[in-house]
């Protein structure tokens, strides 16, 4: 994909596809799942964020607002990752041992 075509993805509000388009097939990408809390005026914003790490940067891909403070549950984390899987367009995905065990996968 050319840079011009990929910039069109970004301009059309598809930053996830923009980032995925620039990952080489042989390149491993580390996905980072993080929860953060921001103050938005009188409101607390509790955000679960899925990013991809590249060198010393992390690019936000997808996120969800959590209804309450504190940790997210496993179902919420799995749902966020599952939103990303169709966008990876046939790339191989490796789940760490803890995730495989929690999902009863071998």
48-72 pLDDT tens trace: 888 888 778 888 888 888 888 778 8
What is the distance between the alpha carbons of residues 48 and 94, in angstroms, rounded to a whole number? 20
Predicted model pTM: 0.65
Pairing relationship of beta strands 57-66 and 30-40 according to DSSP bridges: unpaired
Count of CA atoms in the C-beta half-sphere (13 A) of 29:
22
pLDDT of the chain, 106 residues: tens digit per residue:
555 555 555 555 566 666 666 666 556 677 888 888 887 777 788 888 888 887 788 888 888 888 887 788 888 988 888 888 777 766 666 656 555 555 554 4
Q: Domain ranges in the chain?
A: 28-102
């Amino acid at each position: 994909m050319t840079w011009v075509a990929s910039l069109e993805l970004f301009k059309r509000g598809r930053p996830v596809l923009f980032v995925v388009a620039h990952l080489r097939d042989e390149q491993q990408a580390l996905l980072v799942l993080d929860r953060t809390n921001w103050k938005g005026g009188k409101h607390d914003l509790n955000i679960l964020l899925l990013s991809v790490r590249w060198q010393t940067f992390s690019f936000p891909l997808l996120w969800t607002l959590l209804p309450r403070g504190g940790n997210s549950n496993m179902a919420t984390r799995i749902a966020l990752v599952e939103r990303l899987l169709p966008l990876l367009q046939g790339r191989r995905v490796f789940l760490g041992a803890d995730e495989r065990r929690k999902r009863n996968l071998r």
